[in-house]
Amino acid sequence: MSRRYAVIAVAALISAGASISVLPRAARAAESSGEVCVAPKVAVPRLGDPAQWPAWVDQRIKDLQPMPQERKFDRIGWSRTVLGAEKLAKEYGRPIFLFTHDGRINTGRC
């Protein structure tokens, strides 16, 4: 899966010329980790020994971070504004895909 995507990505980059060079951090990480999404447990008992709490906190924070598979949305080359999208659309003869929504789709607080 990851090799296949890499081939597609390289082809896309080549066809894009010099305009694009790299995928964002999350997308790159997804490539290296594969597409299997195993959600972390929301409850993990704290260890009894306080000396182990710093390591427990570190690990819990790492485990709860958004996984690359949960950030595939970032593989899309989103324009930041409607006007910016219209400028690119006119220049390159492409249509615009506009998604309007309530809340914040990029942070999930919606």
Residues 5-44 that bind other proteins (CB under 8 A): 5, 8, 12-17, 19-27, 37, 39-40, 42-43
Q: Mention every residue, 6+ apart, whose C-beta is less than 8 A from residue 98.
A: 82, 85
Residue ranges in 35-94 that form contacts with other proteins under rule CB under 8 A:
37, 39-40, 42-43, 46, 50, 53-54, 56-58, 60-61, 64-66, 69-86, 88-90, 92-94
Q: Which of 84, 82, 77, 83 is nearest to 98 (CA)?
A: 82
- 85 exposure class (CB count in 10 Å sphere: 0-12, 13-18, 19+): middle
Q: Return the number of the residue (32 or 61) whose C-beta is nearest other proteins.
A: 61
Q: How far is the CB of 8 from other proteins (least distance, A)?
A: 6
